[in-house]
Amino acid sequence: MSEDVNDSAKLFFEYLQIERNYSQYTIEHYQVDVRDFTLFMKEQSLADYANVEYSDVRLYLTKLFEKNLARKSVARKISSMRSFYRFLLRDNLVQNNPFAQVIMPKQEKRLPDFFYEEEIKALFLSCDANTPVGQRDLALLEILYATGMRVSECCQLRLKDIDLYIGTVLVHGKGQKDRYIPFGSFAQEAIDTYINNGRKALLGEKHSHDSLFVNFRGEPLTTNGVRHILDRMIKKSSLNGSIHPHKLRHSFATHLLNNGADMRSVQELLGHSFLSSTQIYSHVTNDYLRKTYMAHHPRA
């Protein structure tokens, strides 16, 4: 396999980071998908991306399904490679996109997983606000639930992005799309305490940067770090099951709609480009309302 293959992939990852401003977490997914396909090319004695034909892609997809990958995972790999080949076409490194004709596998219709309001309260109670780490954890949980922002957006936050006076945060979203999101007094108080106490203690004298959230070494918090913190919260709380940052985002949207918010407003707050991305939460709320009705109506 030629060195041009590795060079092309490297240029693509730099393009995602510099021009598209994708998060490191998203870029890592692209890296896995491109390298997975590159390994397939090596097995099939395909020396260059320009040598790949539609028949090769069909064989690649067959091998993916033989591994019993979920349809969502296969669809992500197709999307990644389609984007990669669009980049190669743009730079005249290939003559065609063999993934352009591929039909995406039909996705399973799964409703977003979310916390009930009582479960959210249990998570907040698991944070010890008397320690620097506990203050950081509480502020992190408050801002994620109060704004519904993505974990990658949360890790990009700087001190200047937070306005405690009016209770808003400037979020740098996907595709360099910025949006302002308000937050309430609970988040306001937790962030204020963290910035003036916990964050200073965690930074110590070794570090001086403007990242809002830091780890116990005073370094900027990563997406993996956030996941570790949330896992620890679940273990300390009385809750069963798993947690992931997007579950808080799902909870944010679901609770807003359950309490009467309109779909368009939730779309703006979540930073969705299309209303269809937000409408899945209406199915969640309908399911929630039905369960509530069946549990409490005397003639259900």
Output the domain CATH number for residue 220: 1.10.443.10
Please check whether residue 214 lies inside any domain of the structure. Answer: yes
Range 229-250 burial, b when 16+ CB lie within 10 A, else e: bbeebbeebebeeebebebbbb
Q: List the catalytic residue out of 82, 136, 199, 249.
A: 249
- Whether residues 242 and 291 share a domain: the answer is yes
Please check whether residue 199 lies inside any domain of the structure. Answer: yes
Please check whether residue 219 lies inside any domain of the structure. Answer: yes
Give me the number of domains the chain comprises: 2
**Does the structure show a pLDDT above 60 at 1?**
no
| Active site (annotated) includes residue 174 | yes
Please check whether residue 106 lies inside any domain of the structure. Answer: no
Domain that holds residue 19: 3-90
Per-residue model confidence as pLDDT tens digits over 252-288:
888 888 777 887 888 888 877 777 667 766 665 666 6
Per-residue model confidence as pLDDT tens digits over 16-59:
988 888 888 889 999 999 999 999 999 999 989 999 999 999 99
Q: Are 285 and 268 in contact (CB under 8 A)?
A: no
Confidence of residue 215 (pLDDT cuts 50, 70, 90): very high
- Whether residues 266 and 154 share a domain: the answer is yes
CATH number, domain with residue 37: 1.10.150.130
Please check whether residue 105 lies inside any domain of the structure. Answer: no
Q: Whose CA is closest to 2, among 31, 33, 38? A: 38
Q: List the catalytic residue out of 20, 29, 76, 246.
A: 246
| Active site (annotated) includes residue 246 | yes
Residue 124 burial class via C-beta count within 10 angstroms: exposed 0-12, middle 13-18, buried 19 and up? middle
- Whether residues 85 and 128 share a domain: the answer is no
Domain end call among 55, 90, 125:
90
Q: List the catalytic residue out of 150, 199, 247, 255.
A: 150
d(CA 122, CA 95): 56
- Whether residues 167 and 264 share a domain: the answer is yes
Q: List the catalytic residue out of 15, 54, 272, 288.
A: 272
| Active site (annotated) includes residue 227 | no
Please check whether residue 215 lies inside any domain of the structure. Answer: yes
Please check whether residue 230 lies inside any domain of the structure. Answer: yes
| Active site (annotated) includes residue 281 | yes
- Whether residues 233 and 283 share a domain: the answer is yes
pLDDT of residue 180: 92
**Contact residues for 18 (Cβ-Cβ < 8 A; gap 6+):** none
pLDDT of residue 291: 67
Q: List the catalytic residue out of 174, 227, 232, 236.
A: 174
Please check whether residue 96 lies inside any domain of the structure. Answer: no
Q: Rounded to two decimals, what is the model's pTM?
A: 0.61
